[in-house]
Amino acid sequence: MLRRGRSRTALAAAAALLPLTGAVEVTAALALLPLATAFEVTEVKVLASQLLPVGYNLRDGQTLSELSACRFVDTDTALFVDDKGALVEADVVLDPFEINPIRRTALQPSADSEGIAIERDGTVLVSTEAHQHKGSELSVIEVDPITGSVLGAPFAPPQDAITRVLDNKGFEALTLASGRALGLDDQTYVATTPEYALNGDDETHHDVYAWSLDEGSLTNPPLPSSTISYTASVLDGTPLGVVEFEALAASLLVLERTFQTTNTIRLYEAAVSDGVFDKKLLIEWDVNGMRTGDGKTISSLAVDNYEGMCLCPDIHGSERRLILVNDDNDNMDQIGTQFVLLALATGSDTVIDSNRGYASFRLFLIVVAIGSSIAVCCAGIRYEVRRRKTPHISGDPGVMLSNLRFDADLVIPPRLTVPARSMARVPKKKGYEKIGRQESGEREPAMV
């Protein structure tokens, strides 16, 4: 195992003992595989906001309320979920910023829906809470976005979580994330966690459950393949709830919230280090305004019960756009439904001095580079020795070629090859053509 304390200098010194070709290869490998990994977000700015009143009517005549999560369908359409058990489709324009909710489709049967994720093939996943009053169970369900029909639960929560989860404190957060963002292998994962600690756990402890997306099954739903530890922040001795995840390339955005007389909202960037999440505060938002992690005020917008967020598909230079949305609880004492557009500047200025779960993989590549260089050197030495031992042959080339014989037993037949076929699920055709066109076309991985 590659240890944290081992420096590039020591490895470079070892490489210097190899022949020149090997040293070059190893040095290149080290340059491409930094032993410390950077947080991605370096700055947060507020670009715009939009406020809709409590009781706002959609185009289809239904009422907008209690939004809890969102994901983009394409560059100008988003799907939200509300706590009453429904999907809400909306048109989105970023400049000038405007969100226009169009229609609401109730889930059948109803559930306390909290989080949403959309796969590349258009499959819509929704996370739910265990809520006795609403008859809802702790689950990650698959939903038909046209009819709202619940098709089943392709991912099974651990029985321990089902047993110990607090009522109305279940799977608020849901995202699709690359293995890199979770400190895992090179797959796409479904990730969620309970809003608050399970009964009997330390009150700030969260188990982040991760399922391999490819293993999802409506007939035989798998248990989580990995569990990563996350620690929630505390305010005046009370832990904040984890209400939303959104995945960047190598980390997660985590939204934490208190829901009391006044709200406090904290947005973190979290990255896995040695099997647990390290995190960096990006913004804190309370009655005194919105501030960056270093205390700089960036907005005086009124704080409210924010529990949803989604990254916009377009990348604006080195910036990503992020939309925050609040749950108005259909309460006239709250501000209404507010959408806030943020700009996240991305870079690699801030560094975690650890290996984020990739030490073994980096070690593997370094060993491969060293081994390859040794093999190349040995092959070169053997070739040179044989060349010097081989006598020089002179004569008529035509005569020499005419005397060549081929032994039939030594003729190797061409290899028959059959291309490997992916075992991935066949894309579902649900009539909702826009869903699945994520992150600017066909860039990999496509996740929302």
Residue 403 has pLDDT above 80, yes or no: no
pLDDT of the residue at 374? 74
pTM given for the model: 0.73
| Top-confidence residue, 308 or 393 | 308
Lowest mean pLDDT among 247-251, 297-301, 416-420, 440-444: 416-420
Q: Is residue 379 part of a domain?
A: no
pLDDT class for 441, splitting at 50, 70, 90? very low
What CA–CA distance (Å, rounded) separates 59 from 90? 10
> What's the average model confidence in pLDDT over 411-439?
37
151-155, 343-347, 435-439, 441-445, range with greatest mean pLDDT: 151-155
Q: Is residue 289 part of a domain?
A: yes
Lowest mean pLDDT among 49-53, 214-218, 338-342, 383-387: 383-387
| CB-CB contact of 131 with 167 (8 Å) | yes
Q: Is the peptide bond before 445 cis (omega within 30 degrees of 0)?
A: yes
| CB-CB contact of 292 with 244 (8 Å) | no
DSSP state of 87: E
> Which residues, 6+ apart, have CB-to-CB distance to 5 below 8 Å?
none
Q: Is residue 436 part of a domain?
A: no
Distances (CA, A) of 196 to 68, 346, 407: 16, 29, 75
Domain, as residue range, for 80: 38-352
Mean pLDDT of the chain: 79
The size of the chain, in residues, is 448
pLDDT of the residue at 260? 74
> What's the average model confidence in pLDDT over 225-237?
96
**Rounded-to-10 torsion of CA 84, 340, 171, 334:** -50
Domains held by the chain: number: 1
| Top-confidence residue, 39 or 18 | 39
Q: Is residue 250 part of a domain?
A: yes
| CA 292 to mean position of chain CA atoms | 23
pLDDT digits (tens, 9 = 90+) for 184-205: 999 999 999 999 999 999 999 9
Residue 407 dihedral angles phi and psi, to the nearest 5°: -85, 120
pLDDT of the residue at 151? 97
Q: Is residue 410 part of a domain?
A: no
- Tokens 């809890």 map to which residue? 68
Cα–Cα nearest to 67, from 224, 193, 244: 244
Q: Is residue 80 part of a domain?
A: yes
> Which residues, 6+ apart, have CB-to-CB distance to 241 below 8 Å?
169, 172, 195, 196, 232, 256, 257, 258, 259
Question: Which helix (H) or strand (E) is 346 found in, with range?
Answer: strand 337-346
Residue 277 has pLDDT above 70, yes or no: yes
Question: What's the maximum distance between 2 C-alpha atoms anywhere in the chain?
Answer: 102
Amino acid present at 345: A
pLDDT class for 386, splitting at 50, 70, 90? low
> What's the average model confidence in pLDDT over 299-314?
96
Residue 89 has pLDDT above 80, yes or no: yes
Instruction: Read off the CATH number of the domain in which 308 is found.
Output: 2.120.10
Q: Is residue 226 part of a domain?
A: yes
- Tokens 């925050």 map to which residue? 324
Q: Is residue 57 part of a domain?
A: yes
pLDDT of the residue at 219? 97
What CA–CA distance (Å, rounded) separates 289 from 210? 34
